[in-house]
Structure 1
């Protein structure tokens, strides 16, 4: 619909312009004859105004041609035509308007009413006020903003003075420089030479044009020298320093140990066995695995016992053990056993340092490995993000999403330099990821604005497509083979996109974000781009 209105405005502008130039026949003459008495000399500006409206509607989605903006344009038209008609003698006001001259009927009405009610001076004041109100309504800006735009700044005035009085400017700058010689850093030899060449001539020998040409030439030479140094010699580039990985000493040593009460464990195992026997289910109890937060009792059912009979007794077992909840894993993967899990009476803390010092973590060769924590038996668990290849963290408030997310990021930072891994972090709530600002691994500071988040995700999609193209041209199927090839000049880092509270982001910019996330999730794995998303509502 927006494009249709734009085309109509532009077509009407073209027809009006052709009519004014008598190139539209009878219809054009009637059109001009009807509008000219209304607008007077303002008729010449009608095609321009219609063209402006057409292009504004077509090119900008954000311009809202609502009642306020249209009212502002009407006020501008009335005031300008009123000003024009104020110059007509009072006796000829109506006659001139009928001939389509001066301000037309619009100018006649506005000038006549204002003059009759407030006098000639009052009319000028009111027309001026009407014009200013029209400008404010049309541009949707404040009067203070307009004043700042039209008021010259001190810097602008300084430039005007410099151009108008070059001799004064050079003399003044020279004296200021002499006063500040004590605190200014010493100039390089090349800069001294350029300065001597520039100021060796007397002021009378240098015209304004010569000074400008000379300064422009010196500036071009400086830029050219810099480009040569950076691009060809590489002398201005910072020297590569081997990345120092953070030491494990920064992490707290775990002092909490998993408490094991053998008497209580045996008592609860007997309760489980007794409760199942009450329902005619014969089982033999096996190992008990004590984890940080959960205790798992394993049992083997007798031959002929259906697992569904055991799982249906979950609430009865919870009642017998006085446990808040019971989870039954039937069967345990890889074993011919059934696991009954209940929450531990005392929870133990899993420390990041003990996870990173664990043997299973040290043996994992992936650079984007993740320390997940400990399982129900207390064994460390490690995962490889490149094999997932994306990660969704879901849970209610207080369930540990942020702790898990931070532990994953610490795992990455301990194993990757800024050249090997880059982050894009999006945090709509501004509370969880802002502490990572300043990391050299960040492609951009932590993003909190939904519009900027949508832009960053679109960039990620474009970067994904670029990487696929580069890998295809080099004859490689994925980024790992590409980076391992010694012939490739560009080594592409892996990119992890971290989004905290996806539901909040989707509520504010769903259309812009959803398509990009889907695209990245479907295709980005092979080119080393991965998503980590945390949310309270995974259904979003």
Structure 2
């Protein structure tokens, strides 16, 4: 002990300035030549400790000093011992309350609990066990005073309600505490009034326990009830769907047969020929074998593949789509999507900011009149009429001054508003509204959008839901800076397809070089393959799409149609039949749309720029008529990534916030995207306008 003190004393001296005062404060101990003090002379220093930093243990000097008898035992483990004590207390409660085998002490304890809390004593063992286990497992857990008060109030209110509505007062269900909470109120009010007051106290105790407001508690309660109802409805639907035509449950053999027949079609759709445009050694197994296959019906699938295997020298083709049998796929319910509850804007505040804008322009010599305004989710557009002799260019040059006056990060000036003799100044809202996919898919615009490729993209400046028909676009280019909202827009588009179209109508190929955005869609039947994460295999997938496009054109030429819309309509009317004398393999089938989503074009261009650009160009030029459509996204909107050939063939653009005017011109061929405020705010240029 003395040697440890010496080493510590020498370290403390080296870190302190040399002064007589600091030396005199250090205890003299540990030196071999120094005279050791006797225990008696050091008795007045027996409680002396050197106070070190929080992360170092307390060390004792002198042999006469001893640590506290119990402090070292309970140090850092008080919660564990308290938890063990509560568990032992719970065992005592079980013996005395439920089993009544704890002897005279247990009987007296049970009688005391009966007097205090009545029937509430039956819940004490579970509470004691739960709290004890929590303390024993989480050593650093602490019960806050606010939560303790909330739990005490919550328990008292429940005992009071039990005392009011008990049919047998002899059993004393609420005990003395329940009588305290209920009797003063029921003597002044009726049982109904007392119940209302106790319900208010119950809500207050819940606020103390959770730290939530009344509105948040109502939202949580509503979500819990809605989730429970949805769970029960889903279970009922699954149980109903698991019954056969005669009401009996489908056995394992029947389910396996069904899975084998379905897998025969699906696996046949997963084995098209894949060849690199320059490398003939790449085969289809490198890409499409990534799809995880279910275990059921595996033998039947292997037999089906053996029967459908192409003859050597022939190319294996993807089928035109599912067979003529009706699809068993059921579209998901819209209740699975959450809705937002945005606060309504204050009209007076909007008008005041409009007057402030007019005054700001007047201070710079620009006379304007506020003729209207339109409030959107993120910005408010103020429509201003210019005075006589005021040039539009003078207003556009004051964008920074307007932003300074309105205390905004930036403003966007639309001069003039198309079709109107006015200019528009878009100012960011102080309170932004959240736009969710659930709000879009339950809107009135969603009811009128009937095409399988009608996808929700957001809300416009007037707050109306905007839907985009990918089949008429016919391809879409999405670009913007990192974190501007591109991935959210892609997920919104994919979710729209999944919620509104069956796998018989739309198939998808998802290319995700970032490997983190589309993994959740891996097992969906809408996919022709698992999400592609390897850039080299992504080039192969685009090459397969080119081959499939050419094959579909051959089918349309043979059937005598210009596009798949007319072909599918004729097929649905039953007009696509095989004529007599033709081979049986010439059977026509319904052609599904194919949606190819590329989340990051830059990564593909870095690995195989020529192959990717050629495939995208060919698909963008010709694939519209055969139902193959592209959605390409990138966070690097430069001319090296979005080349002139790609831009010329993808007219529809969706621009999120970018960092420079040059990037905005690359995406939109005009300025504007550099003025966006981010977080989903975007400008869209539809290709069909």
TM-score range, shorter chain: 0.5 to 0.7
Q: Separation in 2 of the partners of 1:537 and 1:357?
A: 34
Aligned counterpart, 2:516: 431
Given the superposition, is the C-alpha separation of residues 223 and 538 from structure 1 closer, same or farther in structure 2, using an over 3 Å criterion? closer
* 1:48 corresponds to: none
Aligned residues: 310
- Structure with the larger helix share: 1
The answer to whether 1:250 aligns with 2:336 is yes
Note the alpha carbon deviations across 1:94-141, whole angstroms, 9 max, x for none: xxxxxxxxxxxxxxxxxxxxxxxxxxxxxxxxxxxxxxxxxxxxxxxx
Q: Distance in 2 between matches of 1:372 and 1:241?
A: 28
Q: 1:439 to 1:305 in 2, by over 3 A?
A: same
Residue 356 of structure 1 and its aligned partner are, at CA, apart by 1.0
Structure 1 residue 453: Cα displacement: 0.9
Report Cα offsets for 1:377-411 as digits up to 9, x if no partner.
Answer: 21211111112111111111111111111010011
Matched residue of 1:538: which SS? Answer: coil
Per-residue Cα deviation, 1:414-468 (whole angstroms, up to 9, x for no partner) = 1211111000111111100111000101111111111211111111000011111
Alpha carbons 1:370, 1:383 under 8 Å: kept:
yes
1:344 aligns with 2:429: yes
Which of 531, 544, 563 lines up with 1:459 in the alignment? 544
Question: What is the distance in 1 between the residues matched to 2:470 and 2:420?
Answer: 27
Provide closer, same or farther for how the CA distance between residues 223 and 513 of structure 1 changes in structure 2, counting only shifts above 3 A.
closer
Query: CA contact under 8 A between 1:329 and 1:338: conserved in structure 2?
Result: yes
Structure 1 residues 457 and 301: alpha-carbon distance in aligned structure 2, compared to 1, 3 A threshold: same
Aligned residue in 1 for 2:619: 520
Q: Which moved more, 1:270-279 or 1:439-448?
A: 270-279
Q: How far off its partner does 1:240 sit?
A: 5.1
- Counterpart of 1:297 (choices 382, 387, 412) is 382
Alpha-carbon separation, structure 2, partners of 1:361 and 1:345: 29
SS of the aligned residue for 1:324 comes to coil
TM-score, normalization by structure 1: 0.55
RMSD of Structure 2 on Structure 1 (CA): 2.3
Decide whether the 8 Å contact of 1:393 with 1:535 is kept in 2.
Answer: yes
Q: Match of 2:623, SS?
A: helix
Paired with 2:434 and 2:332, the residues of 1 have a C-alpha distance of 23
**CA gap 1:493/1:278 in 2 versus in 1, 3 angstroms:** same
Aligned to 1:361: 446
CA distance in 1, matches of 2:303, 2:589: 26
2:629 paired residue number: 530
In the alignment, is residue 414 of structure 1 matched against residue 513 of structure 2? no
Judge conservation of contact 1:424–1:497 (CA < 8 Å) in 2: yes
Correspondence for 1:500 among 581, 599, 603: 599
Trace 1:270-349 onto structure 2 (pairs within 5 A): 270-349=355-434
Q: Structure 1 pair 367/238, CA: closer, same or farther in 2 (3 Å)?
A: closer
Question: Aligned match of 2:464 in 379, 385, 396?
Answer: 379
The verdict on how the C-alpha distance between 1:241 and 1:516 changes in structure 2, with shifts beyond 3 A counting, is closer
TM-score normalized by structure 2? 0.43
> 1:462-481 maps to which residues of 2 (within 5 A)?
462-481=547-566
CA distance in 2, matches of 1:367, 1:245: 12
Give the whole-Å Cα distance in 1 for the aligned partners of 2:466 and 2:303. Answer: 55
* Aligned equivalents of 1:255, 1:497: Cα separation in 2: 34
Whole-angstrom distance in 2 between the partners of 1:513 and 1:461? 11
Cα distance in 2 for partners of 1:476, 1:303 equals 58
Q: Retained in 2: the 8 A contact 1:296–1:377?
A: no
2:471 partner SS? helix
How far did 1:227 drift? Answer: 5.9
C-alpha deviation, 1:245, in angstroms: 0.5
Please give the alpha-carbon distance, in whole angstroms, between the structure 2 residues aligned to 1:329 and 1:493: 41
SS at 2:624 equivalent: helix
227 and 520 in structure 1: CA distance in 2 versus 1, 3 angstrom threshold: closer
Larger CA deviation: 318-327 vs 430-439: 318-327
Higher relative contact order (CA 8 A, sep 6+): 2
The alpha-carbon deviation at position 354 of structure 1 amounts to: 1.5
Q: Distance in 2 between matches of 1:443 and 1:262?
A: 50
Give 3-state SS (helix, strand or coil) of 1:417's partner.
Answer: coil
Equivalents in 2 of 1:339, 1:282: separation in Å? 15
1: distance between equivalents of 2:326 and 2:473? Answer: 33
Give, in angstroms, the shift of residue 303 of structure 1.
Answer: 4.0
Secondary structure in 2 matching 1:289: strand
Contact 2:535–2:603 under 8 Å retained in 1: no
Partner of 2:47: none
Q: For structure 2, list consecutive stretches of 5 or more residues without a partner in the other structure.
A: 1-252, 254-301, 309-322, 577-587, 642-689
State whether structure 2 residue 528 is matched by structure 1 residue 440: no
Runs of 5+ consecutive residues of structure 1 not aligned to the other structure: 1-184, 186-221, 229-236
Counterpart Cα distance in 2 of 1:432 and 1:324 = 30
Number of the residue aligned with 2:8? none
